Amino acid sequence: MALSLLHERLVLDTSAYSRLCSGHDAVLDTVSAAGVTLIPATVLGELEAGFSLGSRPRENRLRLAEFLAEPFVRAIDTTAATARHYGALFAHLRSAGTPVPINDVWIAAATLERGGHLLTFDSHFSLMAELSCTVLEA
């Protein structure tokens, strides 16, 4: 499944990064077509947790460090502006009765702050109408 979407600022969530590492064609195509690929601090935290619990933490950290060193990749911090987007998203989702995992609300907030387009395999991101995202199927 190839995507013909070109995004200047592509944001990867944890599921998209994991599929990138496993060679998922649609993720590879989308990342290679993007101007810049952004990785939110929340995703880095989720990855670190997975690495710590997994059987190959050293290899996984090395692979992530190599990816982050690519000239088209940027890690993005959580800022006060991210927190404002988070608050608005969280309140809207709670009022609508549509709970989303807290870390994913932070990832969506970082995407909105940067004017990015999120690539994910998690369908609950589509509950956030203001979020530009592509939800891929596994």
Whole-number pLDDT of residue 99: 87
The reply to whether 4 falls in a domain is: no
Using alpha carbons only, how large is the chain's radius of gyration in Å? 14
pLDDT digits (tens, 9 = 90+) for 41-53: 999 999 999 999 9
CB atoms under 10 Å from CB of 77, counted, come to 9
Q: Is pLDDT at 13 greater than 90 in this prediction?
A: yes
Tally of structural domains, the chain: 1
Q: Rounded CA gap, 49 and 53, in Å? A: 6
In a domain, 2, yes or no: no
pLDDT of residue 7: 80
Q: What is the CATH number of the domain that holds 73?
A: 3.40.50.1010
Say if 62 falls within a structural domain.
yes
For 61, phi then psi, to 5°, come to -65, -40
Q: What is the mean pLDDT of residues 14-39?
A: 96
Measured between alpha carbons, how far is residue 69 from residues 1, 30, 57, 65, 82 in Å? 28, 19, 18, 6, 24
Question: Which residues contact residue 117 at a Cβ distance below 8 angstroms, ignoring those fewer than 6 apart?
Answer: 5, 7, 9, 10, 11, 111, 132, 133, 134
Q: What is the pLDDT of residues 88-109, one digit of tens each?
A: 999 999 999 998 999 999 999 9
- Whole-prediction pTM: 0.93
Q: In terms of residue numbers, what domain contains 93? A: 9-135
Residue 127 inside a domain? The answer is yes
**Does 1 reside within a domain?**
no
